[in-house]
Amino acid sequence: MNQWRFEVFNKDGFADVCGNGVLEEIKELGIKSIQAVQSAKVFLLEADFDNDFANRLGRELLSDPVCEEFYLGRSSAPVGLAKATLIEVHLKSGVTDPVAKSVTAAIADMGRQVGNVRTARKYVLLGELSQNQIETIAKKILANDCIEDCMIGSDAEPPNPHLKPYEFKIIHLPLCELDDDGLINLSKEKDLFLSLAEMQTIQKYYQKLGKEPTDIELETLAQTWSEHCVHKTLKSSVDLQLNGENVHFDNLLKETVFQATKQLNKSWCISVFSDNAGVVEFDDESAVCFKVETHNHPSALDPYGGAATGIGGVIRDPMGTGMGSKPIANTDIFCFGEPDKKLEDLPKGVLHPKRIMKGVVSGVRDYGNRMGIPTVNGAVYFDDRYIANPLVFCGNIGLMDKNKCFGNTQTGNLIIVVGGRTGRDGIHGATFSSGEMTHEHETIFSHAVQIGNAITEKNMLDVLLQANEAELYESITDCGAGGLSSAVGEMGEKLGAQVDLEKVPLKYAGLNYTEIWISEAQERMVIAVKPENLKAIMEIFDGENVEATVIGKFTDDKKLTLRYNGENVAEIDMDFLHNGVAKIQRKAIWQDKKLSEPNLPEKTNYNDDLLQILSSYNVASKEWIIRQYDHEVQGGSVVKPLTGIKNDGPSDAAVVKPKYNSDKAIAISCGMNPLYGDIDPYWMALAGIDEAIRNLICVGGRADRIALLDNFCWGNCSRAETFGSLVRAAQACYDGAMAFESPFISGKDSLNNEFSCEDGTKIAIPSTLLISAMSIVNNVNKCVTMDLKKADNLLFIVGETKNELGGSHYYKIHEQLGANVPKLNLETAPKIAAKISSAIDAGLVASCHDCSEGGLAVALAEMAFAGGLGIETDLRGLPKSNDCLKVDSQLFSESNSRYIIEVKPENYDAFAKMMLNQPFGQLGKVTRENKLIIKTEDGKTAIEADIDSLKQAWQKTFDWK
Amino acid sequence: MAEVNPVRNSTTGHLKKVCNNMTQNRQISNVVKVLILRAAGINCDLETQHAFELAGAKAERIHINKIIENKQLLEQFQILAFPGGFSYGDDVAAGKILANQIVHHLYEPLQKFIESGKLVLGICNGFQVLVKAGLLPGTTSNEQQATSNEITITNNDSGKFEDRWVYLAPQTDKCVFIEPGKQIYLPIAHGEGKVVTKDDATLEKLKTENHIAFKYVDENSNECDYPANPNGSVESIAGLTDSTGRVLGLMPHPERFVRLTQHPRWSRCKSKDKTADGMGIFHNAVRFVQKNL
C-alpha cells in the first residue's frame, strides 16, 4: 500500500484560528521574536488509490473548498526573510484518534477502502528561535507529553503506529515471606499506594491461602482499596482533640454527614450515598440524581484532557445510577492560582495558572457541549496555594424513572462492556489521584491521564437510553476510577463474577491482562444482561454502531475470577476484596487559631474599595467562561447563568426545567469559601451550606426540598492538624444539614492535594469544601432573577449584618485575614430562608440577590448594573448587631443569611407582614439615575458611583479574547 | 390547532400502506409528519421534535443508519429536519462527515424530496451539513459540486464557541419558514458559524437571487459588528434558503425559544401572552405543508 500525506492549510484571507492561538501563547511565554505561526492539518493514509482519487479526497473531504487548500506530500517551509521552524505534533502510538476513525468511515462512504489512517498537526513558526525556545514551545504549548510526540524539523518521521502483540505470561508477586520493609517497597515499586497495614492484611490473606498473589490480584486490591474508591480516611475511626477536649468517632462520615441524612429520614430521598449519584424524588413519575466529582491531579498534568475526562466521567455517574438516567445539566467549579503569576515564580513541574485555566475551561466546554448537556452553574476561586494543585469539580444531574432507581444484578446475567475500547490510558488513575504530587509526576504519571472522546460517550448514551426504555438490562454502572476492576467488582460484590479478559475489545494490541483490567480508558459502561435479552439489546447497539461485548458472567460463588485465554489469572473472595481493607485509626487535632482583627482606618468614601473588590478575581464577571459553555441545549434553562437587561448579570443559581409538559423544575447552586477556612473550617463549611441554600432560595427554589452534596478537597490528612480541620468541617456539615433539614445525598473527597517542590518544600491547598445544592421549583413561572426590575420599587434587606469581616474580600484587597469569620446562626438561618421562599412563591418579590463575597455593597452594585437601574439607599434601616458600628463592616461584612429584595410599592404591606419577626429593614429604593448611592447612618455619602463604571470594573478582569 | 388538510403526496400509495397498518390511520394521515434526523453527535433532536410537535406536527427521530438502509422511509415525511449538535464530532470540519454521508448515500432521494415540494430545515450543525453537502444555497443536482465549492461555514472570528442571543432580520419573502419583515430574537451556540463565500461575485449572487434568509442585526435592526454579528459572517448572514424557498438553514436555534421562559429576560417581561419567536418558523413550516401538500 502507498503512504499518502495530505497537508491542509488555510487560504490567505481566512484566519488561522489555531495558529493565531499558538502565537498568542508563545507571546505569553515571553518569547517576542516570533512574527507569525501557520498551522496545518496533516492526514497520513495507507491506501491503494491513485493520484486522481487522492486529489479528489483532498478536494472533497479533507479540505474546505472555500477557506482551505491542500498539499499532497510534504510541503516545504515558506520562502521569505524570516527563519522558519517546522514542528509536527503526532499522537503517540496507540492513542485514540477519533478524526482518523471518521476519515476512514467517510472514505468508505465514498466507496473506497483505506488502511491505516493517522492525523497530526503541523506548525510553521516564523522568526528567530533558539533550540531551547523551540523545545519550550513544543513542550509547553504545542504538545501534551502524555499523549503526543513532537517532531522538530522538516524531515522527521512520525512514530510507527504498529505495536507488538502481547505474549501471555502469568506473573506472581511473592509477598508471603516479605518483612515490613519488603512490603512497603513492593507497594512503592508497583505504584500501589497501599500502606504497610494494608500490605500486611493482604499478606495474611495469602499466607492463609498458602499461595502468592498474581500481579492482577494485587492491583485489583490496590484499586478497590484506594482512597479514591473507598474513602478510607473519611470513614476512619478518629480521635479528635478539639481545643484540648477529646471527641471520638468510630466512623467519621457515618457519624457526621451520613448521620444527618439518616436522622432527617426524608421521604423524598430515594437513594443516598449508595449508588453512583444521590437520588431524590422529582415528581410522581420521575426522580433526579446528582453527583459532583473532582478531577484534580489529571487536570494539573493535562488541563484540557483532565477537565474533559472529568466532566465525561461525572456524566457517566448519573448514567450509571439505578437503571440509568438521562443527563440534564452540568456544573463546574474550579480553583486556580492567580492568573497574573510570573512564569519564573512557578515551582518546577507546574503549569502556569492561566494555561491551566484556559485548558480546563476548553476541556469542559468541548466535552460538555458535545454531549449536548447544558453547563448551567459554577464558580471559580483563586488562591496561590492552588498553583500546583488546581481543583476541578465537575457535576452532573440526571432525570430518571422513579421506578427504575435500583439495579438488580442476578446470577447468570452476562457482563457486557459497552462503548469505547480499552487502551493503556489512565492506568493507575485511581491510585495516582489518591497520592501526593511531586515535581516529577509530570513525567512518571503521564500514563495516568485519560483521553476522552465525547462523541463515543454520546453514542453510548443514546443507545443505553433506548435499552433502558426497552428494559433489556438488569443493572448498570460506569467504568470510572479503577476501570473494569471497580465496575465489575462492585456489580458482583454480593454474587461473584467471572471475566474472560481476552474478550475485552482493545484499542490496539499489546496490553497485558492486568492493563486490560485496570485501564481507565474513558466512555465505557458495564451492564448486566439476561442471556435471553442479548439478541435484542445487541440489535440496538449495532443499529447505531456502538460496540458492546460479552466479557463474562455473574456467578454465585462470591468470588472474583479472572481468566485470560481460559487460564485463571486471579481468584479473590469478594468479601475480602470489599470488606478486607483494614480500618484506619486517625488522630486529629483542632486548636482555635489566635488571630486578630486589623485596624483599618475609617474613610469617608469607599468607592475605590468597592471597585477593587468588584474587579478582584473571585468576584469579577465569569462571562468569558460562561459564554463558551452551551448553557441552553435541551431547551430547559429557565434561569440562565447570566441575566439582566443586557444578559450579563450574575445569576444566583440555575433553574432547569427537564420536562416539556411540566412547569416543575430543578434549581442548582453551590457555595464555597476557602478563605473562611483559614480562620475556622467549621464556620467555612456552614457558610458554604448557607450560601448554596441562599442561592437556591433567591431564584425560587423550595426551602423544604433542598438536597446537599459535599466535596472535601484537603491536604495530607495523615497530619493530625490537617485532618483536624477536615473533621471540624464534617461536624459543621452535620449541624448545617440538621438545622436546614437538608440532607446530604452524595459526596466525594480528594485528599493529599499537596505538592512537593524540588527543594523539598510543600505547597498544600487551603482546606476546600464545595457544597453543591439542588431543590425543586414548583412552577418556573414564579422564578425570580437578581437584576433590578423597575425604578421606584423598594429595596429591603432580610438578615442581620454583623461585624464579620474575617476572611472577607474587603480584607483580602487590604491583604488582611482578620479573625471575625461569619458565624451562621443555625436557628434563624432556616427561618429566613423559608420566609423568603414563601414571599417569592406569593409573587411579592421583583428581584432577589444574596449577600456573599464583598457583602452588601457588592450585592447592591450587581443588582443595579444587571438591571440597568440606580439605587439610593442609606444604612439606617440595616438590621445589625451591636458591634457592627463601622461603616466598612456595614458595607462589606460577609455575614450569612442575608437577602436583598426588591418589592413593588403596592406589595409593601404584604411583604412586611410576611417578614414580621425576622431581622429585616428597608434600605431604600430603585432609581432611574444610573447611580449607586449608599449613605451612612448619619447621612454621609459612603459610596456614590455610576453603574457603568461599576460594571466595567467587574467585567474588565476577564475581558479575555 | 385548526383543522388540517389531508396529506397529498406523490407516493400516497406507499404512505397509505404504512398508515393502514396503523390502528388510528384516519388521524395520522391528516397529520404533518416530520423526520428529525439522528446521527452520532447530534444533540438537539429532542427539542427540535418538541418544537414541531408544539406546532401541531407529528415528529419522529430516526437514525441515519435506518434511512440509508431503507431510503423509502423518507417518502413518509413532508418535512426533514437536520438538528444541531456535533455530528461525528465535527471531525475534519463542522458537519463535513455527515455531509459526505448525505452526498454519497442520500443525495438523490433528498433531491426528490425537495423537488416534490417538501421542506428541509437545518439548524446550527444541520445548517453546516446542508451547506457542505451542497443543498444550500442549493441548485439542481448537476450543479451541486459547483455550488458547494463557493460557500462555506467556518470558525467564528472570536476563535471560540459562544452561546449568546442575537436579533435576526428576515431578508426574503420567498422562504416558506419565514414571516417577512418580522425581526426575531434567538440564541446561537456554536464555534463555527461564520458564513463566507469564495469571492464577491458569489456573495452578489446570494443577494440578487434572494438566498439570504436572515441577517444578524442589533436591537434596532441595524447591521453591525460583534457581538450583534456573533461570528463575523459576511453580510451578517445568519441563514440561507435555496432557490425554492423550501430549504432553510440557519445558525441560531429556533427550537430553543418555543416558550417564553426560555427568553433570557423573561423575568423582566411585562406581557406573558406573547408567543416565543422560534415558534414562527415551525408554525410556518407546518402550515405550508397543510396548505400545499
Grouped pLDDT means (10 residues each) for chain A, 961 residues? 92 89 86 92 93 94 94 81 86 80 94 93 93 88 79 70 79 95 93 90 96 95 84 88 94 95 97 94 98 92 89 96 98 96 87 92 95 97 96 98 96 97 72 58 53 91 98 95 91 96 90 92 95 98 97 97 97 94 90 95 96 98 97 96 97 98 97 97 98 98 98 95 96 98 96 90 95 98 97 98 98 97 98 98 98 97 98 96 96 98 97 95 96 96 98 96 76
ipTM for the whole predicted complex goes beyond 0.90: yes
DSSP A874-909: EGGG--B-TT--SHHHHHH---SS-EEEEE-GGGHH
B-chain CB neighbours of A53 within 8 Å are none
Q: B32, B78 in Cβ contact below 8 A?
A: yes
Instruction: For residue B1, tell me if it sits in a domain.
Output: no
> Does the pLDDT value for residue B2 go beyond 60?
no
Angle (CA) A680 A684 A687, round 5°: 140
Instruction: Report yes or no: B285 at the A interface, CB cutoff 8 Å.
Output: no
Instruction: Report yes or no: B89 at the A interface, CB cutoff 8 Å.
Output: yes
A-chain CB neighbours of B164 within 8 Å are 627, 647
Cβ-nearest to A365 among B161, B164, B255: B161
Task: Write down the residue that cell numbers 442549493 correspond to.
Answer: B138
Angle (CA) B195 B197 B199, round 5°: 155
Q: Which of A744, A747, A780 is nearest to A654 (CA)?
A: A780
Instruction: For residue B102, tell me if it sits in a domain.
Output: yes
Give the whole-angstrom CA distance, residue B23 versus residue B111: 32
Instruction: For residue B11, tell me if it sits in a domain.
Output: no
pTM of the model: 0.94
Judge: A455–B152 Cβ closer than 8 Å, yes or no: no
Q: How far is B45 from chain A (nearest CA, A)?
A: 9
Instruction: Report yes or no: B160 at the A interface, CB cutoff 8 Å.
Output: yes
A624-647: pLDDT as tens digits? 999 999 999 999 999 999 999 999
Catalytic residues of B: 124, 253, 255
Chain B, 205 to 234: residues with Cβ < 8 Å from chain A are none
Catalytic residues of A: 228, 295
Judge: B267–A643 Cβ closer than 8 Å, yes or no: yes
Cis peptide before A158 (omega within 30 of 0): no
Task: Write down the residue that cell numbers 406573558 correspond to.
Answer: B272
Cα–Cα separations (whole angstroms), residue B95 to A629, B89, B126, B187: 20, 9, 7, 20
Chain A residue closest in CA terms to B94: A64
Instruction: For residue B287, tell me if it sits in a domain.
Output: yes
Judge: B256–A635 Cβ closer than 8 Å, yes or no: yes
Best mutation target, B69, B90, B98, B261, to test chain A (most A CBs within 10 A): B261
Identify the sign of the CA torsion A917, A920, A922, A926.
negative
Cβ-nearest to A15 among B105, B157, B262: B157
DSSP A908-947: HHHHHHHTTTS-EEEEEEEESSSEEEEE-TTS-EEEEEEH
> Does the pLDDT value for residue B222 go beyond 50?
yes
A-chain CB neighbours of B267 within 8 Å are 639, 643, 783-785, 787, 789
Q: How far is B233 from chain A (nearest CA, A)?
A: 12
Q: What percentage of residues in chain A have a pLDDT greater than 90?
A: 81
Cis peptide before A98 (omega within 30 of 0): no
Instruction: For residue B5, tell me if it sits in a domain.
Output: no
DSSP A334-389: EEE--TT--GGGSPTT---HHHHHHHHHHHHHHHHHHHT--EEEEEEEE-GGGSSS
Cβ-nearest to B89 among A64, A455, A626: A455
Report how many Cβ contacts below 8 Å link chain A to chain B: 163
Q: How far is B224 from chain A (nearest CA, A)?
A: 17
- Give pLDDT, residue A154: 67
Chain B residue closest in CA terms to A784: B267
Give the whole-angstrom CA distance, residue A304 versus residue A363: 4
Angle (CA) B226 A614 A882, round 5°: 155
Task: Write down the residue that cell numbers 463557493 correspond to.
Answer: B150
> Does the pLDDT value for residue B142 go beyond 60?
no
Chain B residue closest in CA terms to A57: B100
Chain B, 105 to 144: residues with Cβ < 8 Å from chain A are 105
Judge: A111–B104 Cβ closer than 8 Å, yes or no: yes
Instruction: Report yes or no: B46 at the A interface, CB cutoff 8 Å.
Output: yes
By the 10 Å C-beta count (0-12 exposed, 13-18 middle, 19+ buried), A106 is classed as buried
Q: Which of B78, B95, B75, B189 is nearest to B135 (CA)?
A: B95
Parent domain of B99: 33-292
Instruction: Report yes or no: B152 at the A interface, CB cutoff 8 Å.
Output: yes
Q: A543, A479 in Cβ contact below 8 A?
A: no
Instruction: For residue B12, tell me if it sits in a domain.
Output: no
User: Are β-strands A654-656 and A665-671 bridged in parallel, bridged antiparallel, or unpaired?
Assistant: antiparallel
> Does the pLDDT value for residue B21 go beyond 50?
no
B73-125: pLDDT as tens digits? 999 999 999 999 999 999 999 999 999 999 999 999 999 999 999 999 999 99
Instruction: Tell me the CATH number at B120.
Output: 3.40.50.880
**Structure-block grid coordinates of residue A165:** 502483540
Instruction: For residue B187, tell me if it sits in a domain.
Output: yes
Judge: B165–A647 Cβ closer than 8 Å, yes or no: yes
Cβ-nearest to A64 among B43, B93, B165: B93
In the sheet that holds A437-438, the strands lie side by side as A437-438, A754-756, A762-764
Q: Which of B247, B239, B197, B244 is nearest to B217 (CA)?
A: B239
Chain B residue closest in CA terms to A59: B149
Instruction: For residue B8, tell me if it sits in a domain.
Output: no
Identify the sign of the CA torsion A21, A22, A23, A26.
positive
What's the number of domains chain B is made of? 1
Q: Which of A122, A147, A157 is nearest to A39 (CA)?
A: A122
Chain A residue closest in CA terms to B147: A65
Cβ-nearest to A632 among B65, B101, B187: B187
Give the whole-angstrom CA distance, residue A893 versus residue A822: 8
Angle (CA) A741 A742 A744, round 5°: 135
Judge: A109–B100 Cβ closer than 8 Å, yes or no: yes
- Give pLDDT, residue B11: 38
- Give pLDDT, residue B19: 38
